[in-house]
Amino acid sequence: MLKDFKDFIMRGNVLDLAVAFIIGAAFGKIISSLVTDILMPPIGLVFGKMDFSSLYINLSGTPYSSLAAAQAAGAATINYGMFLNNVINFVIVGLVIFLMVRAANSLQRSKPATPTTKECPYCLSKIPINAVRCAYCTSELKGK
């Protein structure tokens, strides 16, 4: 059983999946930092020095000075600012993944085109692949 498990783990696609998962988790943290630490502050500045992560709707009816204070008091809140951050994060991750897949696809070799002609074994002329008789020397060709 241990040998079967080792064979399963050492299979190429399982290792590729594990590496992709680890890289994806690290990549997600980088993108989250990009959105939170680099993109959102200038966007918040454009909208009047607003920090999107602190935007919320207080459902409890008791006024609180900040989201942190409302959460510390256990008040019910709708944190739409965090939702906006996550939507922007998702869009950026999707865009970057799209660009990476597009670049990887352009690097892959294109498959050679299927041949449409073949060579006559008697006169060495190029004839259609499905020809059963050569158009040049009229030799009958074996098979297709």
Pick the most confident of 6-15, 21-30, 58-67, 109-118. 58-67
**Residue 143: band (very low, low, confident or very high) from pLDDT cuts 50, 70, 90:** low
Superfamily designation of domain 11-108: Large-conductance mechanosensitive channel, MscL; domain 1 (1.10.1200.120)
Which of 122, 112, 114, 113 has the alpha carbon at shortest distance from 142?
122
Q: Please say if the pLDDT value at position 71 is more than 70.
A: yes
State the Cα–Cα distance between residues 60 and 64, nearest whole angstrom: 10
Query: How much is the pLDDT for 12?
Result: 66
Residue ranges per structural domain of the chain: 11-108, 113-144
Which of 92, 75, 85, 34 has the alpha carbon at shortest distance from 55?
85
Q: Please say if the pLDDT value at position 144 is more than 60.
A: no
